[in-house]
Structure 1
Amino acid sequence: MKLLAVTSCPTGIAHTYMAAEALQMAAKEMNVDIKVETHGSIGVENEITDKEIKEAHAVIIAADTKIDKTKFQGLTIVEGTVQDAIKNSKGLIEKAMRLENNKSQYVENVSKIKENRKEKKKGPYQHLMTGVSYMIPFVVAGGILIALSFAFGIHAAENEGSLPWALSLIGGGSAFALMIPILSGFIAYSISDRPGLVPGMIGGMLSAEIGAGFLGGLIAGFLAGYTIVLLKKWIKLPKTMEGLMPVLVLPLLSSLIVGLLIIYVVGRPAATINASLSNWLENLQEGSAIALGLVLGLMMAFDMGGPVNKAAYAFGVSTIAAGQSSSVMAAVMAAGMTPPLGIGIATLMAKNKFTREEREAGKAALVLGISFITEGAIPFAAADPLRVIPSLMAGSAVTGALTMLFKVKLAVPHGGIFVLPIPNAVEGLLPYIISIAIGALVTALLVATIKKPKTE
């Protein structure tokens, strides 16, 4: 049997390729022919051709973002998340083979899947993660360019026409200005396909202009997407005029509805909440700040790239959206670096607690850790979750709390250790490095202590 698969995670950095590798390894063990297309941060790789679709029996879509399934029409489709592919790749392959061999059960199974998804509320999460996945490159590029402008001095960008001014204009004036419209537009796109982009991006732009910020952008995206869904359902034109729907009727009406709602209904309350959140973060007392850092650390290590981790990261990004250094973003990035670093150190400290393959993987985990790719710890957590995950959470909680205690601030939303040498990118560079090191050591010591010895 010949299978196809597509994998895609919100960041397109680690989970996408881990899911692809897991499916390929499982298929090899099961003697099944499979080709996996990955939708990563650099675009589509190993793209599936029309000829391969004609020859295939079924397709597995393991994605946390929206995937266009139209080209797979006629094939048996099995859907799951990237975590499903990483943790239960054989189960997905077996399901695809079973459904293909017994297509009479397919409709029933699809109905069950849809019901389960409604119960688990995966829909809104997938829409949100689609928006976040398109937004992240703008945030990262903009943040690093702003940090590079700081390298010439905190106020160097005020000199119009200078290189720091140009870097700040590209990063803050352009990349960051597009961040919220992109978020809103692609949330709407995930809900209602291409027609959602126009009202979504317009709603996001309005949210940014009136101060509603990240929260307003989220609301605008969902509002635009579901407005398009309702308009498609309510408006029925004669066949001779159907061509007007995507180019005139839907963009015009949806933009008008979403725009007016953002300006007169949603915008002001969202702007008030946004301002209140900023003031609250600025005025956090030491005890509250430490508690917030601890919670963010726990969230970053809990599922290492899953929904809880992404929620913490999105919160960090929302605080840096104004182009200013953020203590929350500092805690989030540090706590996200800690799990793979701690695991990597543990494989060096307690070699008898890991197999030869795990010790080799520990070296890769160290590289992923310094790069702020939390997913590097997932294979170890999956192999021994009851001992490893609490250890990871403890180390990240310590790191998050310490960054808040030391009042560290970060102007860059991603990049790990590679952005730390940029002058003025971090307020409190030495305490920041110390916080990450202490948290990683806490994780390493706990893992080395509570894991059972392995025999080769």
Structure 2
Amino acid sequence: MSDMITAELVDLDLSADTKEAAARALAERMVALGRVTDLDGFLADVAAREAQMPTGLDGGIGIPHCRSAHVTEPTLAFGRSARGVDFGAADGPADLIFLIAAPAGADDAHLTILSSLARQLMNSEFTDALRGVGDPAAAAALIRGDEPVPPAGAASPDSVAAAGAASPTAATVTAGAGAPAGAGADRRDGADSGTEADSRTEAPEQPEAPGQPEAPGDVEASGRAGEPAFRIVAVTSCPTGIAHTYMAAEALENAGREAGVELTVEPQGSAGFTRLDPAVVAAADAVIFAHDVPVREKERFAGKPTVDVGVKAGINRPAELIAEVREKAARGEVTAGSAPATPVERAGDSHEGYGTKLRKWLMSGVSYMVPFVAAGGLLIALGFALGGYKVDKAPSVMDHFLWTQADSWGALLFQIGGVAFGFLVPVLAGYIAYGMADRPGLVPGFVGGSIALTINAGFLGGLAAGLIGGGVVLAIQRVRVPAALRGIMPVVVIPLISSAIVGFLMFVVIGKPIAEAQKGMTDWLNGLSGSNAILLGMLLGLMMCFDLGGPVNKVAYTFATAGIAVAGPGDAAMKIMAAVMAAGMVPPLAMALATTVRGTLFTRTERENGKAAWVLGASFISEGAIPFAAADPLRVIPASMAGGAVTGALSMAFGATLRAPHGGIFVVPLIGNPLLYLVAIAAGVCVTTTLVIVLKSLRASAPGAATATGEDSAVPAAAETAAKTAAEKKESVAA
């Protein structure tokens, strides 16, 4: 790490107030040394990584980091803030900030050194020394490992440096700080990492040299009264595989030593990973997954009690995870094939309530269903546009297709779209079950969803089939089975039993009542008229604009698409689809208009986002308003809901219809009463724009208050230009 950080890359008086400003200040030092070639491009990569998951850690640490094509060599910059900078940690702002810049093709050696730093951050003596150091050169030396970490109560790093102590290698210092030498994960042999004595428990003794074999009696000592210790294997990983991956590994290992268990970790980082010895995995009593990206070769851990959480849980509460997985082992709970959660939509950690887990399971199904809705719906709409309103009566294109006739092409698109629509309910059910029980849930979920279509249970039947399929698989996974059967459980036993149970319940027990409920709801929708239809449009508009692409928005959207996902959708269903799409277009279009009309009420970044929001809103992408809602939710969200309600009500009142489930203004030719439909959208946009401007203006004009952007104070006219220029420089990182 000797070349990775120097005194020029250290700022002990970092004055930034935001994480963007802190990243910019440290990145500018990298640019000055030629380590970064494009400041804005690099900061955009840092911001993209930050958007995946906050990089703040408990204990006052922020570690923004990324891989970037704009980095010439692996570089580390360090800043210390007296006021603290919010990096999203649960315990508050960070005062120790490390900006890690790795080239897009960084070699393994450099990345393993970076992982060693991440492990050092779990050592309180190391962080305390950084908080007390008074010279940039000494801070850089401490981080590089040129100076040993002083034990608690010892002299400061400055005095150590002045004493001219011998400088061990970076790897030795890392090992002395409680982390493995240099390569971190690469020295895992499956036996020593969970049983070696913690070198920090007895300060007067020197730490063991890296790679020194432990004493023969150490393993036995870790047990209770001569019994073998409880064995746990763990896997850690994060999106970039540089920092959180190794910090979680270190935290779990430390907690394992304190709990008296043998805990061996496989960090799956950017530098690759060394697979745990199969014998160690086979001998393990339990498994912990602390990850934010899919665990590689997850099937190796089949048939063992498992805890599956995000990587930050492994850093913040490792002792709880160890206790939880030991309780599961005591109860005999095992998983077949992999942990009971998906890489995309995990059910969450053990502290989440069933309501939260249910929402995630349902959103898992909806997220996989939406592409089928968009593709199939647009193909059907194009089929009607080319082939006319009778295209649904056309014969199969396998029997009759003329290359030169538009009707034939319309029939082709319509029939392809119909096939895509046929997957909606099975995909919804299958991936709800997948969200609950991972791959073993797919078979019963898809089978149950297909049965729901067969018995005309529709969308409601798919929801029920998915939840039942996932629940049945989870119940089967809790059953103790002989070791000889564990290998065939995920591919034979679970699909067979779960499909039979789900099929029986759907055909014989609950299928008919759900089908009747589905028919009743359809009849009720078809009978809506007058004030009832307007109220429904208002409610759907409120839901579409409440969380801008979140769960409530998706409920309204799924409700609408389910109505038109049939061979002959009714007029009421198409009116609902039109109202939902119109309301979803309002928030981004209104924010774009507001930034154009009263740009002084918005930051430069928001004004730039406003330009993109024109296109996003016109394309029916409600998420285009999220940056505005995140910055000022108390004004933007209520204003958006008001405009969405107006648009939804007017669309229903005007009797606008829509066969396509997506497309925005690009499918206006397929809309019934298109001119009045555009009037409804324009009315909602004007309402939201007016409310946002009024609310932000009231905030800006409050006595002694800053403007709505929070960046331009009420300054005299003579200083206004300079203030805006300074503010725009601060914000250019986000732009």
Which residue number in structure 2 is paired with residue 85 of structure 1? Answer: none
Once the two structures are superposed, the pairs formed by residues 78-117 of structure 1 within 5 Å of their partners are 100=315, 114=349, 116-117=351-352
- The alignment status of 1:233 with 2:478, answered yes or no, reads yes
Which residue number in structure 1 is paired with residue 77 of structure 2? Answer: none
Contact preservation (8 Å) 2:643, 2:686: yes
2:625 to 367, 374, 377: 377
- The alignment status of 1:349 with 2:597, answered yes or no, reads yes
* 1:339 Cα deviation from its structure 2 partner: 0.4
- The alignment status of 1:415 with 2:443, answered yes or no, reads no
Specify whether residues 312 and 178 from structure 1 end up closer, same or farther in structure 2 by C-alpha distance, changes over 3 A only.
same
- The alignment status of 1:365 with 2:613, answered yes or no, reads yes
Once the two structures are superposed, the pairs formed by residues 150-299 of structure 1 within 5 Å of their partners are 150-151=384-385, 152-160=387-395, 161=400, 162-172=408-418, 174-234=419-479, 236=481, 238-299=482-543
1:390 to 638, 648, 652: 638
Amino acid aligned to 1:278: T
- The alignment status of 1:140 with 2:385, answered yes or no, reads no
Q: % of aligned pairs identical?
A: 45
2:356 to 122, 138, 160: 122
CA distance in 2, matches of 1:153, 1:283: 26
CA distance in 2, matches of 1:253, 1:347: 58
TM, length-normalised to structure 2: 0.50
Secondary structure, in 3 states, of the residue corresponding to 2:422? helix
Amino acid aligned to 1:144: L
Specify whether residues 24 and 136 from structure 1 end up closer, same or farther in structure 2 by C-alpha distance, changes over 3 A only.
closer
Which residue number in structure 2 is paired with residue 308 of structure 1? Answer: 552
Contact preservation (8 Å) 1:157, 1:164: no
CA distance in 2, matches of 1:243, 1:304: 44
CA distance in 1, matches of 2:52, 2:503: 46
* 1:59 Cα deviation from its structure 2 partner: 4.8
Contact preservation (8 Å) 2:237, 2:267: no
CA distance in 1, matches of 2:324, 2:618: 43
CA distance in 1, matches of 2:659, 2:431: 25
Specify whether residues 363 and 314 from structure 1 end up closer, same or farther in structure 2 by C-alpha distance, changes over 3 A only.
same
Contact preservation (8 Å) 1:387, 1:450: yes
Amino acid aligned to 1:298: L
**RMSD value, Cα:** 3.6
* 1:34 Cα deviation from its structure 2 partner: 3.7
* 1:134 Cα deviation from its structure 2 partner: 1.0
Q: Which segment drifts farther, 244-253 or 180-189?
A: 244-253
Contact preservation (8 Å) 2:46, 2:64: no
Specify whether residues 131 and 434 from structure 1 end up closer, same or farther in structure 2 by C-alpha distance, changes over 3 A only.
same
CA distance in 2, matches of 1:275, 1:24: 42
CA distance in 1, matches of 2:647, 2:562: 20
Amino acid aligned to 1:169: Q
Specify whether residues 202 and 34 from structure 1 end up closer, same or farther in structure 2 by C-alpha distance, changes over 3 A only.
same
Contact preservation (8 Å) 1:334, 1:400: yes
Amino acid aligned to 1:420: V
CA distance in 1, matches of 2:291, 2:617: 35
CA distance in 1, matches of 2:585, 2:514: 32
CA distance in 2, matches of 1:436, 1:299: 16
Q: Which has the larger radius of gyration?
A: 2
* 1:49 Cα deviation from its structure 2 partner: 12
CA distance in 2, matches of 1:19, 1:123: 29
Amino acid aligned to 1:241: L
Which residue number in structure 2 is paired with residue 149 of structure 1? Answer: 383
Specify whether residues 306 and 255 from structure 1 end up closer, same or farther in structure 2 by C-alpha distance, changes over 3 A only.
same
Deviations 1:31-53 (CA, angstroms, capped at 9, x unpaired): 532469xxxxxxxxxx9999799
Which residue number in structure 2 is paired with residue 65 of structure 1? Answer: none
1:450 to 695, 698, 716: 695
TM, length-normalised to structure 1: 0.79
* 1:445 Cα deviation from its structure 2 partner: 1.2
Contact preservation (8 Å) 1:99, 1:105: no
- Gap runs ≥5 in structure 2: 2-44, 69-103, 119-235, 240-265, 269-286, 294-309, 328-347, 401-407, 701-706, 713-723, 725-735
Specify whether residues 451 and 233 from structure 1 end up closer, same or farther in structure 2 by C-alpha distance, changes over 3 A only.
same
Deviations 1:339-376 (CA, angstroms, capped at 9, x unpaired): 01011111111122222222221111111111111111
Q: Which segment drifts farther, 200-209 or 162-171?
A: 162-171
Contact preservation (8 Å) 1:337, 1:369: yes
CA distance in 2, matches of 1:283, 1:273: 15
* 1:144 Cα deviation from its structure 2 partner: 0.7
Secondary structure, in 3 states, of the residue corresponding to 1:326? helix
Q: Which segment drifts farther, 446-455 or 123-132?
A: 446-455
CA distance in 2, matches of 1:159, 1:98: 57
Contact preservation (8 Å) 2:560, 2:577: yes
Larger relative contact order (CA 8 Å, sep ≥ 6):
1
CA distance in 2, matches of 1:48, 1:201: 41
CA distance in 2, matches of 1:332, 1:102: 42
* 1:398 Cα deviation from its structure 2 partner: 0.3
Specify whether residues 186 and 71 from structure 1 end up closer, same or farther in structure 2 by C-alpha distance, changes over 3 A only.
farther
Specify whether residues 382 and 334 from structure 1 end up closer, same or farther in structure 2 by C-alpha distance, changes over 3 A only.
same
- Gap runs ≥5 in structure 1: 2-16, 37-46, 62-69, 80-94
Amino acid aligned to 2:383: S
Contact preservation (8 Å) 1:139, 1:179: yes
- The alignment status of 1:23 with 2:51, answered yes or no, reads yes
Which residue number in structure 2 is paired with residue 333 of structure 1? Answer: 581
CA distance in 2, matches of 1:279, 1:442: 33
Specify whether residues 390 and 241 from structure 1 end up closer, same or farther in structure 2 by C-alpha distance, changes over 3 A only.
closer
Specify whether residues 438 and 208 from structure 1 end up closer, same or farther in structure 2 by C-alpha distance, changes over 3 A only.
same
CA distance in 1, matches of 2:661, 2:46: 23
CA distance in 1, matches of 2:107, 2:497: 37
CA distance in 2, matches of 1:212, 1:117: 31
Contact preservation (8 Å) 2:50, 2:64: no
1:426 to 653, 660, 671: 671
CA distance in 2, matches of 1:446, 1:259: 52
Specify whether residues 328 and 109 from structure 1 end up closer, same or farther in structure 2 by C-alpha distance, changes over 3 A only.
farther
* 1:242 Cα deviation from its structure 2 partner: 3.0
Amino acid aligned to 1:127: W
Which residue number in structure 1 is paired with residue 85 of structure 2? Answer: none
Amino acid aligned to 1:179: L
* 1:265 Cα deviation from its structure 2 partner: 1.3
Specify whether residues 304 and 367 from structure 1 end up closer, same or farther in structure 2 by C-alpha distance, changes over 3 A only.
same
Amino acid aligned to 1:132: V
Contact preservation (8 Å) 2:49, 2:65: no
CA distance in 1, matches of 2:493, 2:314: 40
CA distance in 2, matches of 1:293, 1:48: 52
CA distance in 2, matches of 1:109, 1:35: 34
Contact preservation (8 Å) 1:60, 1:77: yes
